[in-house]
Amino acid sequence: MQNQNPILISLSELKIKKIIMEFNSQFILDTLPALSLLGFGLIVMLLDAFKNEKITSVVTILGILISMLLAVPGVVIPEEIRLTFYNQIYTGGLAGLIHILLCLSGLLSVPFITDYLQKNNQTHLQGEIFSLILFSSVGMNLLATANDLMMTFIGLEIMSVSLYILAGSFKKDLRSNEASLKYFLLGAFASAFLLLGISMVYGMTGTTMLDRITTIDPNLIKDKFPVLFYPAIALIAIGFLFKLSAFPFHVWTPDVYTGAPTPLVGFMATGSKMASVIAFGFILNSLLPQSGDKLSQVIAILALLSMIYGNIVAAQQQNIKRLLAYSSISHTGYMLLGVAGGPEGYKAAIFYMLIYTFMTIAAFALISSIENKEEDLNYQNWSGLGVKNIAFGLIMSILMFSLAGFPPFAGFIGKYFVFLSAVKGGFVVHAVIGILTSVVGAYYYLKVLVTMFFEKPKDNIQPKTLKIRKNILIPIMVLALIIVIIGIIPAPISSYLDILYGKAGFLAKL
Partner 1 sequence: MLVQEYLYGYLAISIALFVIGMIGVLTRKNAIIVFMCVELMLNAVNLFLVTFSRYYNDPAGSMFVFFVMCVAAAEAVVGLAIIIALFRNKQDIDINNFNLFKW
Partner 2 sequence: MVETVLFWVLAVLSIATALAVITNRNPMYSVLLLVVNFFCIGGLYLTLNAEFIAVIQIIVYAGAIMVLFLFVVMLLNLGSEKSLEPAFDAKKGLAFLLGLAFLAEMLVAMKDFSAIGSAKETFEYGKVEKIGLQLMTQYVYPFEMISVILLVALIGALMIAKKYN
246 vs 238: CA distance, rounded Å: 9
Q: Which residue lies nearer to partner 2 by CB, 171 or 467? A: 171
Taking CB under 8 A as the rule, which mask of x and - marks residues 277-296 in contact with partner 2? --------------------
Q: Give the shortest CB-138-to-partner 2 separation in angstroms.
A: 6
Q: Which residue lies nearer to partner 2 by CB, 81 or 336? A: 81
Assess 150 for contact with partner 1 (CB under 8 A): yes
Binder of partner 1 out of 10, 19, 69, 189 (CB under 8 A): 189
Assess 191 for contact with partner 2 (CB under 8 A): no
- The entry of partner 1, partner 2, none near residue 179 (CB within 5 to 8 angstroms by kind) is partner 1
Assess 128 for contact with partner 2 (CB under 8 A): yes
Q: Which residue lies nearer to partner 1 by CB, 105 or 258? A: 258
Let me know: does 286 contact 213? Beta carbons within 8 Å: yes
The enclosing H or E element of 18 equals: helix 16-22
Assess 195 for contact with partner 1 (CB under 8 A): yes
Q: How far is CA 15 from the centre of its chain?
A: 42
- The entry of partner 2, partner 1, none near residue 397 (CB within 5 to 8 angstroms by kind) is none
385 vs 334: CA distance, rounded Å: 31
Assess 192 for contact with partner 1 (CB under 8 A): yes
Helix-helix angle 149-167:262-287, to 10 degrees: 160
Q: Exposed, middle or buried: residue 1 (CB in 10 Å: 0-12, 13-18, 19+)?
A: exposed
**Phi, psi of 472, deg, nearest 5:** -110, -5
Q: Which residue lies nearer to partner 2 by CB, 34 or 348? A: 34
Side-chain half-sphere CA neighbours of 145 within 13 A:
33
Instruction: List binders of partner 1 among 157-176 (CB under 8 A).
Output: 157, 161, 164-165, 168, 171-172, 174-175
Assess 306 for contact with partner 2 (CB under 8 A): no
Q: Which residue lies nearer to partner 1 by CB, 115 or 157? A: 157
Q: Which amino acid is at 195?
A: L
For residue 99, CA distances in Å to 31, 105, 372 come to 11, 11, 35
296 vs 75: CA distance, rounded Å: 30
Helix (H, G, I), strand (E, B) or coil at 260: coil
Instruction: List binders of partner 2 among 320-339 (CB under 8 A).
Output: none
The one segment of 192-200, 242-250, 348-356, 488-496 that binds partner 1 by CB under 8 A? 192-200
476 vs 468: CA distance, rounded Å: 10
- The entry of partner 2, partner 1, none near residue 174 (CB within 5 to 8 angstroms by kind) is partner 1
Helix (H, G, I), strand (E, B) or coil at 341: coil
Question: What HEC string does 70-99 produce?
Answer: HHHHHHHCCCCCEEECCCCEEECCHHHHHH
Assess 85 for contact with partner 1 (CB under 8 A): no
The one segment of 99-107, 169-177, 438-446, 477-485 that binds partner 2 by CB under 8 A? 169-177
**Phi, psi of 104, deg, nearest 5:** -55, -45
Instruction: List binders of partner 2 among 210-249 (CB under 8 A).
Output: 224-229, 231-232
418 vs 482: CA distance, rounded Å: 20
Assess 194 for contact with partner 2 (CB under 8 A): no
**Phi, psi of 319, deg, nearest 5:** -75, 125
Q: How far is CA 380 from the centre of its chain?
A: 30
Q: Which amino acid is at 111?
A: P
- The entry of partner 1, partner 2, none near residue 142 (CB within 5 to 8 angstroms by kind) is partner 2
Rg of the Cα atoms in the chain: 23
Q: Which residue lies nearer to partner 2 by CB, 103 or 323? A: 103
Q: Which residue lies nearer to partner 1 by CB, 38 or 365? A: 38
Q: Give the shortest CB-427-to-partner 2 separation in angstroms.
A: 28
Quick check: bond before 457 cis, omega within 30?
no
Q: Is the dihedral of CA 420, 424, 428, 434 positive or negative?
A: negative
4 vs 374: CA distance, rounded Å: 72
- The entry of partner 2, partner 1, none near residue 192 (CB within 5 to 8 angstroms by kind) is partner 1
Assess 250 for contact with partner 1 (CB under 8 A): no
Q: Which residue lies nearer to partner 2 by CB, 61 or 138? A: 138
Q: Give the shortest CB-1-to-partner 2 separation in angstroms.
A: 19
Q: Which one, of 301, 308, 245, 345, lies nearest residue 438 by Cα?
A: 308
Binding site for partner 1 (CB under 8 A): 150, 153-154, 157, 161, 164-165, 168, 171-172, 174-175, 177-182, 184-185, 188-189, 192, 195-196, 198-200, 202-203, 206-208, 254-255, 258-259
Binding site for partner 2 (CB under 8 A): 7, 10-11, 14, 16, 19-20, 22-23, 27, 31, 38, 45, 85-86, 88-89, 125, 128, 131-132, 135-136, 138-139, 142, 148, 150-151, 154-155, 157-158, 161-162, 164-165, 168-169, 171-172, 180, 203-204, 206, 224-229, 231-232
